[in-house]
Homo-oligomer: A and B are copies of this chain.
Amino acid sequence: MANIPYRTYLTEEQMPKYWYNMRADMKQQHDPFIHPGTMKPAVKEDLLPVFCEELVNQEMNTTDRYIEIPEQVREFYRTYRPAPLIRAYNLEKELGTPAKIYYKFEGNNTSGSHKLNSAVAQVYYAKEQGITSLTTETGAGQWGTALSMAAAYFKIPLTVYMVKVSSQQKPYRKAIIETFGGKVIPSPSDTTEAGRKILAENPETGGSLGCAISEAVEKAVTTPNSRYVLGSVLDQVLLHQAIIGSECKAAMELLGEQPDIMIGCAGGGSNLGGFISEYMGERLQGKNNIRFIAVEPASCPSFTRGKYAYDFCDTGRMTPLAKMYTLGSDFMPSPIHAGGLRYHGMSPILSKLYHDGMLEARAVSQTSVFDAAITFSRVEQILPAPESSHAIRVAIDEALKCKETGEAKTILFNLTGTGYFDMTAYQQYNEGRMTDYIPTDADLEVGFESLRKLPVNEGLL
C-alpha cells in the first residue's frame, strides 16, 4: 500500500503526444456508413458538408496507428490534464474486498467530464479550416459545456441544441454553457424542420439525443460556412478520447500495475472506447486477456437488448446510417437522469468489438446506480455523475465478487465526470422518490419496427 499513491499524475513530458487509433489494430473494420439518400456506402465527399475535412479524414483513417495531437490542442489539454489515476483505497476498505480498485478521474475540469478531450480537437480543426460557426447537441449538458469552453477559447460562435428534459432538469447546465458564450436551444424546437416535425407528432416529448442531433445537423448544413460537431458515437471521437486510455496505461505502468477488468459506462460509447483503446489494441494482438465491460442503463439497453443493424444516428433520419447495436432511431428513452446515456445507438467500433466477443455488456437499474454513487461518494469524497456511476455500480459488483471468491483482481474503471449539475436527481434519490424504468419487449418493438423497414437491413433482422 505504501508504494502506490492515492493519486498519480503524469508530468507534462509523460503526457501522450499522439492519439492511438485502435482501428489500425482491428483485423476487421466495422461496416461502412451508408448515405441516407443513395443507401450506398458514404464517401468522404458525402461527409464534408457536415464535418470539417480533417475530421472526415480521421473518421476514415483505419490505417495510421498513431495520429499526432496538434500543438495547440496539447496546449489546451495542459489547462486541465493530466487527469489523475486514483487508487480507491477507501472504497476497497469500505467494501472489505481483496480486489485492487483503480479509477481514472476525468471530471477534474469545468465541463465536469471527459467530453472536453474531443471538443477541443474538433473546435481546433474547425478554426484551422476557417469555419465561422458551429452547432451541436447535448444531453446531460456535459458535451455542450465542454464545447462551449473550447469554442470560447478559440473564439467561434456556437449553438447548442439541448435535450429538452435535460434543460429542464439542469437549468444550471444551460447557464454555464451561456456563461462561456454558447447559445442554448431546448430540443425539439421550432428552429428546424426536424424539430417542427417531431413537435407536430408529439408536442409533449422531452426530446432525445437522436432528435437533438437532427436539429443540430440541419442547422449546420443550412447555415453558410458552418459545421456540426458530435460528442460521441463517431470513430473520430473515440480517437480523441484515446488520450484517456493512453494516459491511464502510462500511469498504470509507472505503478507496475496491470488491470484484469476494465469498466466504463456506455451511452454513445466515447469514454469507453477511448478508455479501453490501448489495452484493447493489445488484446486484439493477443498480448493480454483483460475483460472489458460496457455498462448501460436498463432503461436504454442498446447492447444488451438492441439489434446489430444499420440505423440512423439521429431521430430525424438526416445523418448517415451506421452499423451498430441500436434500439432503433424511433426509440424514445424514458427520462432517466443519466441523460448522457439516453441514446438509441452505440459506437460502430464498440459495436463491432461487442459483436466479435471482445467486449461484455451489462445493464443496470437507476436506483442501484445511485446506491453505488452514494457509497462511493462518502468514502472517496467525489460526487460522481449519474452516467459515471453506472461504471461504479459494476466495479463495486466485481469487487464484491472478489470478496466472495477471495481473488485479488485489479479492477480499473473510468470515472467520466462529476454530478454537480445532477443535484435534482440526487434530491429525488435522497427523498426516496426515484424509480426505475425498464422498457417492456413491446416498448422495444416500436424501435425495431423502424429497423426492419430499412432496405439496408434486409436479411439482418
Contacts and interface: CB of A to CB of B under 8 A. Distances in A.
Interface of A: 5-7, 9, 11-12, 76, 78-80, 90, 108-110, 112, 149, 152-153, 171-172, 175-176, 178-181, 374, 377-383, 418, 420-421, 423-424, 426-427, 430
B381 A110 contact: yes
B426 A5 contact: no
Contact of A108 (B11, B90, B108, B152): B108
27 contacts: A5-B78, A6-B12, A7-B78, A76-B381, A79-B90, A79-B380, A108-B108, A109-B381, A109-B382, A110-B377, A110-B382, A110-B383, A110-B418, A110-B420, A152-B378, A153-B381, A172-B172, A172-B424, A175-B423, A175-B424, A176-B383, A176-B420, A176-B426, A178-B430, A179-B383, A179-B423, A180-B377
A180 B24 CA distance: 45
B378 A181 contact: yes
B377 A179 contact: yes
Residue among A11, A175, A374, A430 with the most chain B CB within 10 A? A175
B374 A179 contact: yes
B423 A176 contact: yes
A12 B172 CA distance: 35
A112 B377 CA distance: 14
B426 A175 contact: yes
A172 B420 contact: yes
A44 to B, nearest CB: 33
Given A5-B78, A172-B172, A178-B430, 15 more contacts: A6-B12, A6-B79, A79-B380, A109-B381, A112-B420, A152-B377, A172-B420, A172-B423, A175-B423, A176-B420, A176-B423, A179-B423, A179-B430, A180-B377, A420-B420
B12 A5 contact: yes
A171 B152 CA distance: 28
Contacts of A172: 172, 420-421, 423-424
Contacts of A179: 374, 377, 383, 423, 426, 430
A121 to B, nearest CB: 15
A150 B171 CA distance: 29
Nearest to A420: B420
Nearest to A155: B378
